[in-house]
Structure formats: structure tokens, C-alpha cells
Amino acid sequence: MLEGALLLIFIRMNKDLERVVEIADGVEVSVNGREFVVKGNGNELKREFEIGKIKAEVKDGKVFLVAKGATKREAKMMGTIWAHLKNMVKGVGEDFVYELEVCNVHFPMNVKAEGKKIIIKSFLGETTVREAAVMDGVKVDIKGSKITVTGSDIEAAGQTAANLEKATRLTGRDRRIFQDGIFVTKKPYRTI
């Protein structure tokens, strides 16, 4: 008797879910199985998702994500896919921009871009050189103490900004006194 009651409760949790992503003008979205490709303004973003029972379809300038009899896990997956698709559609239309600032109270820092790396010299008077990786498809512009990170992929741009911040992270020192470093001052608006 108890097993039948638990089974009935489980069946009631399954729902038919649908999420819609609006496609902006000049943006093209194609779905091929698990792979989503978003093109626009000369940019192209590709991403594969573990979609399970979720069906994805592009029609009438919209991407429809539909799941019949979805469980909580599929509802979560659908929300994740929906958020990533919205960011991809927005990213090919206009770049995501992160702004960072180089702060040096004690020693002047030298920051310059060399290929796929950012070289940081003389951080807190250190003679060792610190490096931060620049992800593919991301541009870094350094003007004085201002650093601008731009990219059509929000994850790559965000990771590059985080790499810069992490390269000058201090441990074991009082942050009220040692305030040197590179810090994110502005993040792009997220559609999540």
C-alpha cells in the first residue's frame, strides 16, 4: 500500500515544460541533435548540451525547448540550456565587456599583453613574473590602469577576467594594508 502511494506522488511531479528563447534580428540558430550553433555579426558560438528527453526546435524566430513528462532533473537541465542559449544569442549580437582596474599602493605594476598571455611584472616589488591566460575569442585592451576584456562568449570573457584577478591574489597578508592587485570593477549584464 505504501509503495503505491509513493509511486502516485512521483508520477504527479512529472510535468510538461516549455521554454522559449527569442532570436534577435541578424542572428541564426541551428540545432543538430545535442549541438547548438549560434551565428551573427561575424561571430559563431557552438555548444553541446546533455539534453536527455528535452526536444529543441527552431521556428518563427524562436528556439523552443520542450520536455514531456519532465522530472526535476530535466527541469533544471532545461533552465540551464535556456540561460546559455540566451547568453549565446546576446553574445553574437554584442560583445560582453568586463572592466578591471590595476591598483597599486606600494609598488608600480607593469601589465602588458603578449599573445595569449597577460604578463604582470613588479607586483608588490616581486622579481618573479606573473602570468594570466587569455581564453580563445577574447580581446584584452590595456590603457594605463584600466583593463577591458571583451568577447562574444560570456564564459570565456569571464574566465579571462577571473584569471587576471587570480594572478594577483594575495594570501597570508592583511588586505587592508596590501591593497595591490587587479580587480573586476564592472561585469556585463547577465540574462540568467
**For the segment 90-140, what is each residue's pLDDT rounded down to a tens digit?**
999 889 999 999 998 878 899 999 989 999 998 888 888 999 999 999 999
Domain termination site, one of 44, 63, 93: 93
Mean pLDDT, to the nearest integer, of 136-151? 94
Q: Helix, strand, or coil here: 101?
A: strand
Closest CA to 16 of 53, 45, 52: 53
Q: Final residue of a domain: which of 68, 93, 118? A: 93
Bridge partners of 59, per DSSP, are 62
Number of domains in the chain: 2
Looking at 93, 124, 151, the residue that finishes a domain is 93
Shared domain for 163 and 112, answered yes or no, is: yes
In this predicted structure, the answer to whether residue 18 has a pLDDT above a threshold of 70 is yes
* Cα(85)–Cα(16) distance, integer angstroms: 20
Is residue 77 located within the same domain as residue 126?
no
Q: How confident is the model at residue 73 (pLDDT cuts 50, 70, 90)?
A: confident
Give the CATH number for residue 29: 3.90.930.12
For 82, the domain range is: 2-93
Pick the more confident residue, 159 or 123.
159
Predicted TM-score (pTM) of the model is: 0.82
Same domain, residue pair 89 and 100 = no
